[in-house]
Amino acid sequence: MLSLESIQGPADLRALSPEQAGLLAPRIRQLLVDTVTRTGGHLGPNLGVVELSIALHRVFESPRDRILWDTGHQAYVHKILTGRAGALATLRQAGGLSGYPSRKESEHDVIENSHASTVLSWADGLARAQGIQGVVDRAVVAVIGDGALTGGMAWEALNNIGAAADRPVIIVLNDNTRSYAPTIGAFADHLALLRGPGAPKALFESLGLAYLGPVDGHDITSLEAALRRAAGLGRPVLVHCVTEKGRGHTPAEQDETDRCHAVRGRSTGKASGDGSRSWTSVFGGELAELGASRPDIVAITAAMLAPTGLGEFARRYPDRTIDVGIAEQHAVTAAAGLALGGMHPVVALYATFLNRAFDQLLLDTALHRAPVTFVLDRAGVTGDDGASHNGMWDMSLLQLVPGLRLAAPRDAATLRKALREAVAVHDGPTAVRFPKGSTGGDIPAVGTIAGIDVLRRGGGEDVLIVSLGAMAGTCLEVADRLTRHGFGVTVVDPRWVKPVAPALVELGLNHRLVATVEDNGRAGGTGSAIAQALSDAGAATPVRTFGIPQHFLDHGTRADLLAGAGLSAQHLARALAEILFGREIEELEHQPLVAVEQHSG
């Protein structure tokens, strides 16, 4: 019997008869369901591209022919067909397969593409390079979804691809009518027309591309015929493939929300045990409540309504919910326009996706002092999604924006409070950022100083630990360890981390050492801003900033990645004790701190 393990590369796949190739599809789907429901990951998108992936690797000769994947979470089948079926059980696990194309995994993974709407620019550049070098025996194939074609960058690339009739780029449009949720907008309406009989093909042809399709994306024979024809045209061409997201898995087919777009692994799906909710759901519930008393609040999503927690707001206030498609840049400037018109927009994005819209945030929003609130989910280390999805850049980028106020809540209670404070600001932009996962239990303050929450105080003024956002629990454990060794420790949470509060500077002046702890990159982060504020005040107090090193992190659990970055309580306590003692402290690794671990755990 033909097994998936016997497919060690595309050459093995091409050696199969069409009938044998067709037999692989249900086996691949079963492997995906069995594996991804255990490891977690993107199930629905991969179930929809099984036949398309098989056809691509039978027609084109990867890696000589370059197959490029947009929004690379749909490349699991590609991984299976390029010799990685036996390792799929390690998907998204530390040391295992990435959930996206990974060049260190395979020569078949040409680009590490995990954000949408970029692949056509990659293809245009690669095809131009081959043309300049006289390379004529390599195809450039770009697979892009209908949802990703709502992004402006894709159309910038199409503008260039279609203008060069002698530069063959094969665009495979994987049209499943969805990104996370159903694709919306004028382009989605046009694709719906193209799926009908006798529809005009004017849009793509008017851009200079040949158009082939629509093709049944689950018929390998039809797909292979269309792809071979496309390869023989010698010009830019779009092959329109109609697929079904979640195909072959009943729970996905019946899931009208997102067709099991991303599923949690069985090993990670346990409740938190402390009754806490996810950060996302806390934000979503609070925004929905605010919508009742604030008719000027408008929620904006970039094709991620449910993942960013806007589902309840949309249910209650559909006329005040806007989905712009995968178009973060447009979302931000449109929000500035809404603010100009008297509304208060709340733009909900993953922190890593704000990177795309920095110019619009800086010059369209902040320059105009537009009252727009940005809610940044998945800030800091996200873990198993890998390098591109870690939101470790936002606090550094936002430090550059004049007039912007930034909040980093430590728990559910401070998230609710920060959101209410943010939407009450009318003279400039605000941002509220929080991580992925459970909020944990609330961490009460033992006092406040000019709006700064004091979480722990006692034993003198040796070290001031400034806890930023979700690092509060770790900082309190650091305080426990240092206090047991005789140090006087104060732990504060400023909650609003930009601008730096004058009272925080005063606190720093009164301590021997200031330490800042954040789950953001150290370069230009909040710790750097606090150090600068103390320096500007003439403080001689040394400042030690702890954060994430400025390199791309591998995938793994949030806890493991933070520990690897030196952001565990044990590492932080030892580093601070060494500074205070002025020498290396080996004994902090030994018995006294084991007792502290047991006491605080």
- Please, are residues 71 and 113 in contact by the beta-carbon 8 Å criterion? yes
Element (H, E) at 313: helix 311-316
Q: Rounded to whole angstroms, how far apart are CA atoms 44 and 36?
A: 10
Reference 178, options 214, 150, 139, 219; nearest CA is 150
Q: What are phi and psi of 171, to 5 degrees?
A: -100, 120
**245 catalytic residue (yes or no):** yes
**328 catalytic residue (yes or no):** yes
How do strand 452-458 and strand 489-493 relate by DSSP bridges? antiparallel
By CB neighbour count within 10 A (0-12 exposed, 13-18 middle, 19+ buried), where does 207 fall?
middle
Inter-axis angle of helices 569-581 and 472-484, to 10 degrees? 50
Cα angle, residue 492 at apex, residues 488 and 498 outer, rounded to 5°: 140
As beta bridge partners, residue 580 has none
* Residue 597: alpha-carbon gap to chain centroid: 33
How do strand 452-458 and strand 447-449 relate by DSSP bridges? antiparallel
How do strand 489-493 and strand 447-449 relate by DSSP bridges? unpaired
DSSP letters spanning 324-368: --S-HHHHHHHHHHHHHTT-EEEEEEEHHHHGGGHHIIIIIIITT
- Which pair of tokens denotes residue 367? 């320059």
Inter-axis angle of helices 502-509 and 526-536, to 10 degrees? 70
Element (H, E) at 204: helix 202-206
Instruction: Using CA atoms of 229, 230, 233, 236 in order, give the dihedral in degrees to the nearest 10.
Output: 170
DSSP-based three-state secondary structure for 413: helix
- Max distance between CA atoms of the chain, in angstroms, equals 81
Cα angle, residue 227 at apex, residues 225 and 229 outer, rounded to 5°: 70
- Please, are residues 406 and 433 in contact by the beta-carbon 8 Å criterion? yes
Catalytic residue among 79, 167, 247, 356: 356
* Residue 365: alpha-carbon gap to chain centroid: 22
Catalytic residue among 51, 328, 477, 518: 328
Instruction: Using CA atoms of 26, 29, 33, 39 in order, give the dihedral in degrees to the nearest 10.
Output: 140
Q: Which are the contacts of 163, defined by CB distance < 8 A and separation ≥ 6?
A: 208
- Which pair of tokens denotes residue 283? 């934000």
Catalytic residue among 58, 245, 456, 481: 245
Catalytic residues: 245, 328, 356
